[in-house]
Amino acid sequence: MTPETLEDELSRPSEADRAMMRHLEGDVLVLGAGGKMGPSLARLARRAADAAGTPRRIRAVSRFPTADLKQQLTAWDVEALSCDLLERDQVARLPECPNVLFLAGRKFGSTGNQPLTWATNVLLPAMVAERYRGSRIVALSSGNVYALASIPPTEQTPPAPVGEYAQTVLGRERVFEYFSVRDRTPVALLRLNYANDLRYGVLLDIGQRVWERRPVSLAVGAVNVIWQRDANSICLRALVLATSPPLVLNVTGPEPLSVRWLATRFGEIFGIEPLFEGTETGTALLSDSSLCCRLLGPPTKSPEEMIEMTAEWIRSGGPTLNKPTHFEVRDGAF
């Protein structure tokens, strides 16, 4: 697989995506489209709308510090709009839109610059929720709102965020919840962990360590993973599930996977005996995604398929985003 075919795969609409677009009215706006998930999600929305035969505008909003991504989105027939979402006057000038996918957020680098993380994850959502009151909003959240646990938490499990980053994630949810109730804005909050693209994700982190004969940390002994195309599809289709008060969904693969087992499986594929450091503690950052699976269907890509694809990507020297997930962190300091 090449970067081009990977982008095609991550944005390939399913029949469920096309069916949703046939019923959804209006344009789609992707806020924070310059991150890991935004480009392929915006392109998925474009392709799903086209395949459904429902003409509409798909707009992607980011600061776009370089022209490359903006040009790529334009080539995909996605309108790229430059905006600093922390600037209230710029947010006010964004176009009206009935369907908003909110992806903006800050995680890594939070330790040492906590004020920017709070502004990005809490103040910025407030400005967006005010600007798009009455629109359908799907807002990306994180499983980091949960405490480390031995049993995967459901949406009914009380949040217990560890560390300031996780606290700001819960703050983002509470802000959207407040404006959703106040303005009767339909909102869906998606607690995602961990999406995997061949260029980043927990599977890449573990596979690279095995390939490079570096030890794999067992400090967090289990993870949930989901293929990014599946996460993109869920994010897009959640527009029709948005409610006031907000619907909360855990978005991830249905089964916890042992980090030791994942490293061992990569080792089998590579013919390398994996190295480990630390020991399993019995608790991990996990999520129970059974509600999401019931409402929107299970992921289409199995863990074994993702492992094999990631292993081949690593072995062939495929490019990466050089953005480790730091899944092994237990104290919430990112």
Condensed to tens digits (0 to 9), the pLDDT of residues 244-254 reads: 999 999 999 99
Joined tokens for residue 25 = 């009215």
pLDDT for position 113: 83
pLDDT for position 225: 97
Q: Which residues of 230-244 are buried (b: 16+ CB within 10 A; e: fewer)?
A: bbbbbbbbbbbbbeb
E strands, 83-175, in order: 99-102, 136-142
Say which residues have a Cβ less than 8 Å from residue 96's Cβ, sequence separation at least 6: none
Q: What mean pLDDT comes out for the span 91-107?
A: 95
Q: How confident is the model at residue 331 (pLDDT cuts 50, 70, 90)?
A: confident
Q: What mean pLDDT comes out for the span 269-279?
A: 97
Taking Cα atoms as reference points, which of 230, 210, 280, 237 lies closest to residue 16?
237
E strands, 11-131, in order: 28-31, 58-62, 79-82, 99-102
Q: pLDDT tens digit string along 198-221?
A: 999 999 999 999 999 999 999 999
Joined tokens for residue 192 = 């995602």
Is the separation of the CB atoms in 148 and 220 below 8 Å?
yes
Residue carrying the six token digits 């995680």: 107
The CATH topology of domain 3-146+153-195+226-253+286-297 is: Rossmann fold (3.40.50)
Q: What mean pLDDT comes out for the span 99-111?
A: 85
pLDDT for position 67: 81
Consecutive H or E run containing 191: strand 187-192
pLDDT for position 110: 61
Q: pLDDT tens digit string along 305-320?
A: 999 999 999 999 999 9
Taking Cα atoms as reference points, which of 166, 174, 165, 327 lies closest to residue 252?
327
Task: Tell me the pLDDT of the chain averaged across its residues.
Answer: 95
Q: pLDDT tens digit string along 130-171?
A: 999 999 999 999 999 999 999 999 999 999 999 999 999 999
Could you give the percent of the chain with pLDDT greater than 90?
91
Say which residues have a Cβ less than 8 Å from residue 298's Cβ, sequence separation at least 6: 254
Distance CA 123, CA 135 (A): 19
Distance CA 209, CA 231 (A): 25
Residues β-bridged to residue 137: 100, 187
Phi then psi for 205, rounded to 5 degrees? -55, -45
Distance CA 254, CA 120 (A): 30
Q: What mean pLDDT comes out for the span 221-250?
A: 97
Phi then psi for 37, rounded to 5 degrees? -95, -25
Could you give the percent of the chain with pLDDT greater than 70?
99
Taking Cα atoms as reference points, which of 207, 200, 223, 211 lies closest to residue 308?
207
pLDDT for position 332: 77
Q: What mean pLDDT comes out for the span 290-298?
A: 97
pLDDT for position 1: 87
Is 109's pLDDT higher than 70?
Answer: no
Is 10's pLDDT higher than 80?
Answer: yes
Q: What mean pLDDT comes out for the span 60-68?
A: 89
Q: Pick the range with the lowest mean pLDDT from 46-50, 103-107, 196-200.
A: 103-107
Q: What mean pLDDT comes out for the span 49-71?
A: 93
